[in-house]
């Protein structure tokens, strides 16, 4: 990139956490803001940071200034990104969407199986060998870190349940916070399509792992056209799916996890001054028992 041209960078970012509807948010914003060209999330501040600033700035090379620039990338739990983002985008705003920690954790488990990072085995076995999964549900302490770096007024905290049950209200809050025109979801019914809700484990873990590594090799070279073509033709799903269906969490697993995360949930309640009783109650004890991966309006669970 020419030294004489000042690159346009995100003015606001949806930072997740992972498995909280980031793909849906990206799809809704598309056409209303300038997003990274050819890809949903650059992963620059984590996976590809060694590629350098110009590598990142190139993603926004077609931004003209007529619209705000944005990115949706699940950086929420990656504390290394705080200083890195602050250094080049000190006035950036952030959207955080929080999800029932048990539901999010099980969705993460399925994503790890899909990418073949986690080997065959049940949920609790994977949790024991991937402790980072569990640490990721420390919402309160991570949220405080973003507040400390960028100011509480620059971090919008939303809830995944609202995204599912009242998507228009949810996106109205996002657009008002970001300072962009209102987006009418009724005019875009295709946005409701359910994507990234992994239902089956890989049939062949070795094939799935090779496909995942190849995908990231392509992404590192910004070969997003090839990545998207392979997505549309079903290659990634062929490599990473077709195996057994994931069973739901048992009541016993659900109850143990809710007891485990109770202190974290209570810390978040105190921080935000809200009632999160629903996150403390085992599924069988609730009057409504929606599936973690479905709803009356089907949403992307990226």
The β-bridge relationship of strands 12-14 and 70-72 is parallel
Angle of helix 139-150 versus helix 80-88 axis, rounded to 10: 20
Evaluate whether residue 276 is within a structural domain: yes
Evaluate whether residue 231 is within a structural domain: no
Q: What pLDDT, in 10s, does the model give residues 53-65?
A: 999 999 999 999 8
Q: Is the pLDDT of residue 108 over 50?
A: yes
Measured from the Cβ of residue 175, the count of other Cβ atoms closer than 10 Å reads: 17
Residue 116 lies in domain: 12-199+246-285
User: Residue 146: left (phi > 0), alpha (psi -120 to 50), or beta?
Assistant: alpha
CB of 167 closer than 8 Å to CB of 299: yes
Evaluate whether residue 266 is within a structural domain: yes
CB of 3 closer than 8 Å to CB of 55: no
Q: What pLDDT, in 10s, does the model give residues 1-29?
A: 445 567 899 999 999 898 899 999 999 99
Looking at per-residue pLDDT, the higher value among 129 and 76 belongs to 76
Q: What pLDDT, in 10s, does the model give residues 194-246?
A: 455 666 666 677 777 777 778 768 877 878 888 778 777 877 677 766 766 77
Evaluate whether residue 177 is within a structural domain: yes
Nearest to 141 by CA among 19, 45, 270: 270
Evaluate whether residue 297 is within a structural domain: no
**CATH code: domain of residue 119:** 3.40.50.300
Q: What are 95's strand-pairing partners?
A: 14, 156
User: Structural domain tally of the chain?
Assistant: 1
Evaluate whether residue 163 is within a structural domain: yes
Q: What pLDDT, in 10s, does the model give residues 137-174?
A: 889 999 999 999 999 999 999 999 999 999 999 999 99
Evaluate whether residue 133 is within a structural domain: yes
Evaluate whether residue 148 is within a structural domain: yes
């Amino acid at each position: 990139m020419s030294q004489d041209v000042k690159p346009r960078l995100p003015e606001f970012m949806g930072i997740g956490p992972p498995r909280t509807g980031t793909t849906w948010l990206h799809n809704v914003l598309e056409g209303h803001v300038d997003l990274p060209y050819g890809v949903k999330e650059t992963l620059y501040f984590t996976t590809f940071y060694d590629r350098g600033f110009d590598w990142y700035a190139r993603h926004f090379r077609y931004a003209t200034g007529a619209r705000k620039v944005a990115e949706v990338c699940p950086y929420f739990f990656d504390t290394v990104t705080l200083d890195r983002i602050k250094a080049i985008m000190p006035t950036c705003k952030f959207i955080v969407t929080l999800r029932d920690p048990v539901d999010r954790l099980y969705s993460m488990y399925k994503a790890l199986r899909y990418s073949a990072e986690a080997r065959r085995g049940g949920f609790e076995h994977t949790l024991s060998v991937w402790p980072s999964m569990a640490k990721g549900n420390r919402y309160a302490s991570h949220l405080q870190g973003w507040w400390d770096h960028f100011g509480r007024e620059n971090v919008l905290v939303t809830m995944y349940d609202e995204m599912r049950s009242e998507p228009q209200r949810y996106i109205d809050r996002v657009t008002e916070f970001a300072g962009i025109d209102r987006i009418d979801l009724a005019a875009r019914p295709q946005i409701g399509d359910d994507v990234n809700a992994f239902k089956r484990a890989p049939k062949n873990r070795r094939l799935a792992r090779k496909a995942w590594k190849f995908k990231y090799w392509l992404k590192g070279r910004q070969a997003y056209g090839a990545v998207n073509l392979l997505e549309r033709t079903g290659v990634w799903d062929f490599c990473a799916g077709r195996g057994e269906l994931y069973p739901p969490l048992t009541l016993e697993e659900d109850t143990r996890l809710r007891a485990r995360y109770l202190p974290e949930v209570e810390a978040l309640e105190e921080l935000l001054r809200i009632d999160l009783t629903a996150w403390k109650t085992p599924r069988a004890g609730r009057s409504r028992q929606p599936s973690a991966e479905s709803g009356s309006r089907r949403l992307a669970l990226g």
